């Protein structure tokens, strides 16, 4: 295509199903003209991982509204508040998106 059209990388390819790809495969795809890679599955997993890690770390505080390792009468509202675990999910997803941007050379140097 390059010879026929007279310009380098004349097509813009999308890497469908890019989630889970090894970094050297991503680099190869970029070199072949890929300009977009789908990473939805990776970002979904990253979001879930934040929630899972939060639950595992705070499991003893997430069994009832009242009562935890600090005492039978201690409240747990601050642990099961969705803003807490959603935030942890957001942080792990942001980390994964940043990693994808580096892998895809989509960052400001």
109 band by pLDDT with thresholds 50, 70 and 90: low
What the block records as the tokens of 37 is 């890679």
- 18 exposed, middle or buried (CB, 10 Å; 0-12, 13-18, 19+)? buried
12 band by pLDDT with thresholds 50, 70 and 90: confident
Its pTM stands at 0.80
Residues 42 and 98 sit within 8 Å (Cβ to Cβ): no
Q: Please name the residue ranges forming H helices in 34-81.
A: 40-58, 77-80
């Amino acid at each position: 295509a390059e010879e026929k059209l007279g310009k380098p990388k004349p097509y813009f390819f999308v890497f469908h199903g890019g989630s889970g790809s090894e970094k050297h495969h991503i680099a190869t795809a970029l070199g072949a003209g890929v300009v977009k890679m789908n990473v939805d599955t990776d970002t979904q997993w990253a979001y879930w991982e934040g929630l899972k890690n939060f639950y595992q770390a705070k499991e003893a505080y997430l069994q009832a509204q009242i009562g935890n390792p600090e005492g039978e009468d201690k409240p747990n509202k601050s642990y099961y508040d969705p803003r807490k675990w959603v935030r942890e999910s957001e942080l792990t997803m942001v980390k994964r998106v940043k990693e994808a941007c580096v892998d895809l050379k989509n960052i400001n140097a």
